[in-house]
A and B are shown apart, each in its own frame.
Chain A
Amino acid sequence: MIGGGTGGTLAANRLRRSLAPDDAITVIDADDRHLYQPGLLFVPFGLAPAARLVRPRAAQLRAGIDFLQSVVEEVDVEADQVVLAGGERIPYDVLVVASGARLLLQETEGLTGPGWGERVHTFYSLPGAATLAGALASFAGGRLVVDLVDLPVKCPVAPLEFCFLADWYLQRHGLRSRVQLTYVTALDGAFTKATCNRELSGLLARKGVEVVTEFATARVDAAGGRLVSYDEREVGFDLAVVVPLHGGADYVSRSPGLGDALGFVPTDGGTLQARVKPNVFVIGDAADLRASKAGSVAHFEGPVLARNVARYLGREAPDAHFDGHTNCFIETGFGKAILIDFDDDLEPVAGHFPTPIGLPLLRESRLNHLGKLAFEQLYWHAILPGREIPLVGSEMPRAGKRPQLAPPLLQTEGGTR
């Protein structure tokens, strides 16, 4: 298993339960700091202390799983071997690629240059989120710009959530009237799924967040305080929060046949097998799938991957099929959140989750906000151990969904925000 993050950990734990005791499982990761990434959203606003979000990797793995701290240099797909940084080769019968996505700061001119960490920030890494907390605390007003450089990115709703929380934070500090808050995106709307886009765009408008679409950021000019697009448009800022372009782990591009141009692994979205060879499987952000790069996706992929790997080892054809199930809580500020749940076929709709009595879908509520907060404990104690969450299976539930209803304009519980 390359990668001991969300996908690698939950897959290893599931496989340890289902495989024979003498089937050896090794998880390789470059470091021993498992970060609860959804918590990064809260760090800049002082809502989560950075230290709470990190735990040792090995402690999340069941007994009987070996943890190897080392950097993977390359995969020799022909020879079925993983090559480590020191040159050591680890042979495998089955490889699971779970090395996630990384931030490609160098792909955008000016991002790592002067002003990085001063006027230009990101919350997509722990040091970045912590530095941004300091910058926000001393922000006295002006133009705050949140820029989504391009897809694919992890958790594509997180930049929107950042806008909602920034609106809340600035109000709480009595600064909102002195700040022009702008969301700049490479997409042609706030979100690519049509129904959801309508809901979220409405919410942004109500919170006074200006939206600039189809803005392909070519350059971040920190000194001049402006974003410049490839078609020469400009957006000025005093403080910029940038979500940089993502790519796969760099060893993927170095391994012949394994990855695509951006370092993601071409994968059969049903069986989760890499296209390059049937004994290579992929879970989580490392895959080139249409599904979101989200922890919930890795969670729903878990049982499919575990079953197919076990069948492969038993010389049977993989028969489990992933449906693209994605589920996310969208924090909207003021103690509320929206929940969306969808798959490759059905886009986010109204109703309740996971059954007709449950959390409200596509609607702001306090219950969903509590769900989002509870997710942190669920992550360490149910998702990573690879446990089933009551009522929430891998396949997208349809019982509580009401696709036939024209989705109402976003309803809000108790009050205007």
Chain B
Amino acid sequence: MTTATYAEREVSLDAEGFFTDPSQWDEAEAPAIAAAEGISPLTDRHWEVIRFMRREYEEKGAAPNVRALAKTSGVSIRELYQLFPKGPAKLAAKIAGVPKPVGCI
């Protein structure tokens, strides 16, 4: 486990940089996490996905994977990849301060 400081707040991260304690997150930290992942600035569309991710996690206890995200958030897979290149679900989860979406192996 490591720590990082986003928006002047110290938070705990796992080995891959995901929050281990989602309650340490607030919206003010998101731009700094995103910038560290090469996404800057955050547009309204980014925010829509980040807030959706956060809500899903709070309601269901797990972050959705990219297919589920596309089906439920209303943002298409193609656009998700434009907003969060490489791994939309992973990146959006990281920026939203929730644990890595689980694969199903």
The answer to whether A230 touches B78 (Cβ under 8 A) is: yes
Residues of A within 8 Å of B3, CB to CB, are none
User: Which secondary structure dominates where chain A touches chain B?
Assistant: loop
**Bound state CA distance, A191 and B77, in angstroms?**
23
- Chain A residue nearest to B76 (CB atoms) is A230
The answer to whether B64 touches A292 (Cβ under 8 A) is: no
Partner of A193, one of B65, B71, B105: B105
A97 within 8 A of B: no
Interface centre among B65, B81, B102, B103 (most CB of A within 10 A): B103
**Bound state CA distance, A156 and B105, in angstroms?**
7
A118-155 interface code vs B (CB 8 A; 1 in, 0 out): 00000000000000000000000000000000111000
**Bound state CA distance, A188 and B66, in angstroms?**
14
B4 within 8 A of A: no
The answer to whether A192 touches B103 (Cβ under 8 A) is: yes
**Bound state CA distance, A26 and B72, in angstroms?**
34
**Bound state CA distance, A107 and B72, in angstroms?**
15
Shortest distance from the beta carbon of B13 to any chain A beta carbon, whole Å: 17
Do A216 and B66 form a contact, CB below 8 Å, given A231-B85, A262-B71?
yes
**Bound state CA distance, A107 and B78, in angstroms?**
13
The answer to whether B72 touches A261 (Cβ under 8 A) is: yes
- Chain B residue nearest to A253 (CB atoms) is B71
Do A214 and B64 form a contact, CB below 8 Å, given A193-B105, A292-B104?
no
**Bound state CA distance, A26 and B71, in angstroms?**
34
Do A290 and B81 form a contact, CB below 8 Å, given A150-B67, A261-B72, A262-B67?
no
- Chain B residue nearest to A292 (CB atoms) is B105
A293 within 8 A of B: yes
- What total count of A-B pairs have CB within 8 Å? 48
Shortest distance from the beta carbon of A396 to any chain B beta carbon, whole Å: 16
B58-91 interface code vs A (CB 8 A; 1 in, 0 out): 0000001111100110000110110001110000
A367 within 8 A of B: no
The answer to whether A192 touches B105 (Cβ under 8 A) is: yes
Residues of A within 8 Å of B86, CB to CB, are 214, 231
**Bound state CA distance, A218 and B67, in angstroms?**
12
Partner of A293, one of B67, B80, B104: B104
- Chain B residue nearest to A247 (CB atoms) is B67
The answer to whether B65 touches A218 (Cβ under 8 A) is: no
Shortest distance from the beta carbon of A243 to any chain B beta carbon, whole Å: 13
Residues of A within 8 Å of B102, CB to CB, are 290
Shortest distance from the beta carbon of B98 to any chain A beta carbon, whole Å: 16
The answer to whether A245 touches B67 (Cβ under 8 A) is: yes
Do A187 and B77 form a contact, CB below 8 Å, given A150-B67, A151-B65?
no
A88 within 8 A of B: no
Partner of B77, one of A152, A156, A230, A261: A230
Interface centre among B68, B72, B105 (most CB of A within 10 A): B105
Partner of A262, one of B68, B87, B103: B68
A260 within 8 A of B: yes
Shortest distance from the beta carbon of B61 to any chain A beta carbon, whole Å: 11
Task: Give chain A's interface residues, CB within 8 Å of chain B.
Answer: 107, 150-152, 156, 187-188, 191-193, 214, 216, 218, 230-231, 245, 260-262, 289-290, 292-293
7 nearest CB pairs, A to B:
A152-B104, A230-B81, A261-B71, A192-B105, A261-B68, A192-B103, A156-B105
* 12 new A-B contacts at CB < 8 Å, known A261-B64, A290-B102: A107-B67, A151-B65, A151-B103, A151-B105, A214-B86, A214-B87, A230-B81, A231-B81, A260-B68, A262-B68, A262-B71, A289-B104
